[in-house]
Amino acid sequence: MADRPMQELAGPALESEDFVAEHKRKAMGLFLDAWDEGCAQGIPSDLLSEVCLYLALTDLIEDRGEEDVAAIIESLPERVRAGEFTLYEERH
């Protein structure tokens, strides 16, 4: 999985890193708007997180298959511990 180029992983429609970066920014904005709306309607953020993960996984499995998604999931603990998904440091 790690040996595959970004275009193969994301699909043939992607033409450049700029294209990918721009669309990631747009997607993030859309998801953050929906997240804010859900919170405004009283949905707890941990529930929103679970739903987002579920939807992401079901979509990825449909696009890439169970084995590729399992490989992605297997890499998550190391990536989490490395701080890849940490937006800020908590002070203890």
Helix (H, G, I), strand (E, B) or coil at 34: helix
Question: CA 2, CA 42: separation in Å to the nearest integer?
Answer: 39
Type of residue found at 36: D
**Domain map (residue ranges) of the chain:** 16-81
Reported as a single tens digit per residue, the pLDDT across 19-78 is 999 999 999 999 999 999 999 999 999 999 999 999 999 999 999 999 999 999 999 999
Single pTM value for the model: 0.66
The pair of three-digit structure tokens given for residue 67, joined into one six-digit string: 């084995």
Return the residue matching tokens 């999985």. Answer: 1
